């Protein structure tokens, strides 16, 4: 049963505390979801919690500096067999913690069977509905709970300091820049790729991984498999994916394949239009990519920062 709500008015002055617990293999998705909730100003109080060995969900909730209102557990093949899902998630859903109710909004991200205690409960199906529709259901559910008082509590006069920033990803360069795979139409947009690669030398810009080898075989042919493996490895080594959207990008099957592969691998998705008349491929819209509407240094930098959880002003 998927979460489906119409958009309600949001309660003014209340910022819910959202906790996103996840297993190790789902870190990229958890970071993307947390960044999207902060970007949409659902709340600044959005925490990610990697549920490694010895980490207990109930303890994490009980000892949070600010009481937790919503838990959005990432449900996947990597997490359904773990202790925190099997032993701790159900009590969180059915009992009061510290005298208050915590709302649980599960987010399923692959085709794994749901645990028995979740089968008849609402959940956001990121696997079946893809990013846009599933994310909207999570966002609206939090807004609805906040507006109707499901998790109502007074906001403290003096707030504790915000959570510590996420530890740097092992795949990101030591300089702190973001490692982003760059996808583009080799026949038509290579000059724009060159511009981005030049900008990447700036310390405040992303670092790009580029496949400069134009595909000479159809994407669905057996001969394409070696190139697919090489590109997939490059995408997997990155933490983000940026697609240059030109006039003919939507008709390029290799770009479409790269977008789908990046989404499958859970990368942060960014779209950069060469100009406002260039329509993004449908598949890029379906994965909820952050979009820069102008091909400028600042516009693209802000879109990348937004995809990584920063606040964009564009």
Measured in degrees and rounded to the nearest 5, phi and psi for residue 255 equal -65, -40
Helix (H) or strand (E) holding 71: strand 70-71
Mind listing the domains of the chain with CATH numbers? 18-148 (3.40.50.10140), 179-307 (3.40.50.450)
**pLDDT attached to residue 118:** 82
CA-derived radius of gyration, the chain? 20
Pairing type for strands 290-292 and 240-245 reads: unpaired
Distances (CA, A) of 314 to 139, 268, 284: 21, 18, 19
**pLDDT attached to residue 54:** 67
Largest CA distance in the chain: 64
Q: How buried is 83 (Cβ within 10 angstroms: 0-12 exposed, 13-18 middle, 19+ buried)?
A: middle
Q: Residues near 167 by Cβ (< 8 Å), separated by ≥ 6?
A: none
For helices 297-307 and 190-199, the axis angle rounded to 10 degrees is: 80
CB contact at 8 A, 284 and 255:
no
Question: Which structure tokens are listed for 256?
Answer: 């479409």
Flag residues of the chain having pLDDT under 50: 1, 3-12, 150-175, 311-314
CB contact at 8 A, 6 and 23:
no
Q: What is the DSSP letter of 250?
A: G
**pLDDT attached to residue 310:** 59
Side-chain-side CA neighbours of residue 177 (13 Å): 17
Residue entry with tokens 């879109």: 303
**pLDDT attached to residue 96:** 58
**pLDDT attached to residue 309:** 77
Question: Which structure tokens are listed for 295?
Answer: 């091909």
Torsional sign, CA 81, 86, 92, 97: negative
**pLDDT attached to residue 98:** 56
**pLDDT attached to residue 2:** 53
**pLDDT attached to residue 20:** 92
CB contact at 8 A, 268 and 35:
yes
Helix (H) or strand (E) holding 282: helix 282-286
Q: Report pTM.
A: 0.46
């Amino acid at each position: 049963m998927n979460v489906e709500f119409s958009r309600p008015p949001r309660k003014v002055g209340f910022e819910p505390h959202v906790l996103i617990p996840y297993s190790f293999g789902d870190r990229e998705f958890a970071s993307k979801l947390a960044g999207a909730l902060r970007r949409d100003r659902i709340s600044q109080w959005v925490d990610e919690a990697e549920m490694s060995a010895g980490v207990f969900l109930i303890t994490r909730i009980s000892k949070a500096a600010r009481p937790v209102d919503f838990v959005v557990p990432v449900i996947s093949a990597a997490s359904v067999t773990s202790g925190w899902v099997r032993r701790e998630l159900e009590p969180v859903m059915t009992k009061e913690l510290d005298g208050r109710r915590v709302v649980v909004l599960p987010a399923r991200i692959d085709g794994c069977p749901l645990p028995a205690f979740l089968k008849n409960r609402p959940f956001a199906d990121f696997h079946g509905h893809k990013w846009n529709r599933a994310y909207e259901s999570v966002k609206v559910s939090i807004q609805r709970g906040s507006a109707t008082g499901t998790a109502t509590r007074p906001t403290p006069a003096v707030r504790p300091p915000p959570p510590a920033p996420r530890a740097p990803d092992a795949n990101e360069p030591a300089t702190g820049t973001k490692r982003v795979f760059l996808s583009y139409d080799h026949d038509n947009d290579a000059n724009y790729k060159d511009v981005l690669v030049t900008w990447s030398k700036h310390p405040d810009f992303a670092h790009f991984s580029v496949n400069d080898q134009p595909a000479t075989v159809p994407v669905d042919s057996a001969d394409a498999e070696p190139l697919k493996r090489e590109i997939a490895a490059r995408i997997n080594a990155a933490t983000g994916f940026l697609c240059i959207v030109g006039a003919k990008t939507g008709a390029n099957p290799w770009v479409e394949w790269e977008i789908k592969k990046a989404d499958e691998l859970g990368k942060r998705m960014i779209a950069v239009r060469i100009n406002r008349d260039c329509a993004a491929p449908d598949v890029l819209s379906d994965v909820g990519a952050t979009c820069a509407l102008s091909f400028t240094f600042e516009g693209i930098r802000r879109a990348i920062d937004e995809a990584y959880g920063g606040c964009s002003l564009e």
